[in-house]
Structure 1
Amino acid sequence: MNHPLVALPVPAPPSPPHHEEPVLDLAVPVFNEETDLEPSVRRLHAYLRETFPYPFRIIVADNASTDATPLIAARLAAELPEVEWIRLAEKGRGRALRAVWSASSAPVVGYLDVDLSTGLAALLPLVAPLLSGHSDVAIGTRLAPGARVVRGPKREAISRCYNILLRCTLSVGFSDAQCGFKAVRRDAAARLLPLVRDSAWFFDTELLVLAERAGLRIHEVPVDWVDDPDSRVALLSTALADLRGIARVALSPARGALPPGRPPRPYAVPAAALALAHLLLYAALRPAAAGQVANALSLLACWTLAVPVRGRLPWPAPGAPPALPALAARLALTAGALAVLRHTVPAAGLRAELAALAAAHVSLVVARSALRGWRRRTGSAAS
């Protein structure tokens, strides 16, 4: 939803001063960040000035802010020679990155979040493989060995569930799609940006999926990352938008066929996708609702999202369970798993609940597979 703009005496972005052409254009997308913008940009600028061995440029991309963010951005651009800013009329992180990267002439473009949750020491390891030609895309990862992460269990569970969901539904090889710390060679960005349809939070994931499908090399850098307690990301709406994005990309004509000789999976793959989406939404809803309520709402939401694509999935229809009985069975089994866990371990936390729900989903898949096998055997014997 676009936010209405208030009347602010916003100066026009100044013409950039003449200086050595940057090797790196680093975008900082912002929306209503009047508190964090100035200290973060000054810290980033000082760090790059002291440690980064190449010419650089920092571009603050204001996403239609309605507070003092554009005024602060304009002042920083006037004071700091390597800092510029642009103002967009519409909100959206992907929209901001597209605008900055498309207009760049630097060999490498990148971005980081304004809260600087990612340790800046990873900037040079992120950019160096792109400058050398070793890789086309580089991402920070919080989920690879060597990463040091400080964040709450809810965000940890959501992040891991989301990336597992990507591996199961889109067969991706990268480990962390949404860490706000990425860089791309400009020639690779020029190929990918026209193909990316999302303009918000799913932009990162879609860009990486397209890069992997195009055979581009993706370099991963384990990062130090500290969660921002003042993060304004709406977890539920973002999760639902991401699930819609995953479904769109999975069903797009460019998704590709299964490798030769790999048998289709009529039930297990979509069941795994549904289960992981359920866990992701459950983790987002659980802090605000009782376990059984969060379970029912998240499962119903996932099932509702799955209805429009039933019959369009790339797996054959035979073996897929009828909608309402399958939903009832899944709801009963997951509710029972939570009830048993609460009875046996009254103090169980979110991770234990997610494990119990995952076990319920797995047991349902195993039971259905066993039932189908028994029916095939008995049918063969009867014939």
Structure 2
Amino acid sequence: MAMNETNAGGVRRRSVEIVVPVYNEAHVLADSIGRLHAYLEESFPFPFRITVADNASTDGTWDAATELTLRLPHVHAVHLEAKGRGRALKQVWADSTADVVAYMDVDLSTGLEGFLPLVAPLLSGHSDLAIGSRLHRQSDVVRGAKREFISRSYNLLLKAGLAARFSDAQCGFKAVRTDVFRALAPHIEDTAWFFDTELLVLAQRNRLRIHEVPVDWTDDPDSRVDIVRTAVDDLKGMRRMLHRTVTGRTRIAVPRRTSTPQVPAARKTSEVLPIGANASSHLEYAS
């Protein structure tokens, strides 16, 4: 079903765009996106689109991504000239014409069965943001002791330093209402890994409703994350956010929840989108 179609009751169905940021992932991209596409086609009840966001890869990732757009009908791709997961998400999410935008890591460490519970509260208008939480008491997580310690320590720092009420800022499994993200986006400064935390802190400071979903999660042994550098950057980001909070610069005019959020209708296309293209005129959704 396309964005401008309605259901039997005359109401336009909500849609979701799932972004998968990648950097030098040519060796796993086809398998991961193929599995994600097949799962959503089989079991996801809402119109969807998958966008591969290539973060200035230097291997064959872009070639693999464009090949997928030719082979799988609901996969699209964009290419960025500079690295940064936050930069990729900010660009694609802000351009999206879906009602809800989401992202997940290319390794699909998070069980896909959690995706519908993640986005359903946003599509219904009940919540504003949703995050998968590996620290939820009902989550089933398989990972090493070192990464478990780092994750829990980071979230304790967020609670102590920024009074965070969310439990897992760094899990690569999140979604947000598109209109809410567009309001928050100009105020998000980080372009890398702290992007998630900054988004969540701004949402909390503006009394937006954050929904948490327990997830099944298996650590990826091939993860490219530089843990030490990321930790240092996160601490710098926390200091910056604390200063913004103290000076009152986290208050933003944001759209409030409604049962009938509206976004522009989309037209169908099979094109691969270059970064910066007008997404409202180049968009196709699966149903």
Residue 65 of structure 2 is aligned to residue 65 of structure 1: no
Query: Which residue, 241, 244, 249 being the options, matches 1:249?
Result: 241
Structure 1 residues 229, 255: CA separation in 2 closer, same or farther (over 3 Å shift)?
Answer: farther
State the 1:225 CA deviation. Answer: 0.2
- What per-residue deviation string (whole Å, max 9, x for no partner) do you get for residues 235-275 of structure 1? 10110000000011111256659xxxxxxxxxxxxxxxxxx
Q: RMSD of aligned C-alpha atoms? A: 1.3
Task: Check 1:253–1:120 CA distance in 2 against 1; reply closer, same or farther (3 A cut).
Answer: closer
Q: Is the 8 A contact 1:119 1:223 kept in 2?
A: yes
Q: Distance in 1 between matches of 2:125 and 2:117?
A: 13
Structure 2 unmatched runs, 5+: 4-13, 250-287
AA of the residue aligned to 2:188: V
Which of 131, 136, 148 lines up with 2:123 in the alignment? Answer: 131
Secondary structure at the aligned position of 1:35 is classed as helix
The match for 1:213 is 205
Partner of 2:225: 233
Higher relative CO (CA 8 A, sep ≥ 6), structure 1 or 2? 2
Cα distance between partner residues in 1 of 2:117 and 2:241: 30
Q: Distance in 2 between matches of 1:252 and 1:228?
A: 34
> For residue 183 of structure 2, what is the aligned residue in structure 1?
191
Flag the 1:128–1:238 CA change in 2: closer, same or farther, 3 A.
same
Give the letter aligned to residue 155 of structure 1. R
Structure having the higher strand fraction is 2
1:177–1:208 CA contact under 8 A, matched in 2: yes
Greater Rg over alpha carbons, structure: 1
Query: In structure 2, what is the Cα distance between the partners aligned to 1:191 and 1:211?
Result: 10
Which secondary structure does the structure 1 equivalent of 2:108 belong to? coil
Q: Deviations over 1:100-152 (max 9, x none)?
A: 10110000000000000000000000010001111000000000111000000
Aligned to 2:113: 121
Instruction: Work out which of the residue numbers 141, 145, 152 in structure 1 matches 2:137.
Output: 145
1:173 aligned to 2:155? Answer: no
SS at structure 2 position matched to 1:251: helix
The total of aligned residue pairs comes to 239
Equivalent of 1:43 in 35, 40, 51: 35
Q: 3-state DSSP class of the match of 2:27?
A: coil
Question: Aligned partners of 1:33 and 1:26: how far apart in 2?
Answer: 17
Give the TM-score normalised by structure 1. Answer: 0.61
Instruction: Give the secondary-structure state (helix, strand or coil) at the position aligned to 2:167.
Output: coil
Match of 2:267 in 1: none
Name the CA distance, whole Å, in 2 between partners of 1:244 and 1:116. Answer: 28
Cα distance between partner residues in 1 of 2:233 and 2:129 = 24
For residues 310-366 of structure 1, what are the alpha-carbon distances to aligned partners after superposition, in whole Å with 9 as ceiling and x for unaligned?
A: xxxxxxxxxxxxxxxxxxxxxxxxxxxxxxxxxxxxxxxxxxxxxxxxxxxxxxxxx
Could you tell me which runs of 5 or more consecutive residues in structure 1 were left unpaired when the two chains were aligned.
1-18, 258-383
Which residue identity is paired with 1:74? T
Counterparts of 2:132 and 2:186, CA distance in 1: 23
Could you say which residue in structure 1 is the equivalent of 2:103?
111
Partner of 2:113, secondary structure, is: helix
Matched to 2:2, the amino acid is E
Paired position in structure 2 for 1:159: 151
- SS in structure 1 at match of 2:26: coil
Paired amino acid for 1:239: A
* TM-score of the pair, normalised by structure 2: 0.82
Q: What does the per-residue CA deviation read over 1:261-296, in whole Å, with 9 as the maximum and x for residues that have no partner?
A: xxxxxxxxxxxxxxxxxxxxxxxxxxxxxxxxxxxx
SS across alignment from 2:180:
helix
CA drift of 1:36 comes to 1.1
Q: Structure 2: how far apart are the matches of 1:127 and 1:255?
A: 33
Please give the alpha-carbon distance, in whole angstroms, between the structure 2 residues aligned to 1:228 and 1:136.
29
Contact 1:249 1:255 in 2 (8 A): no
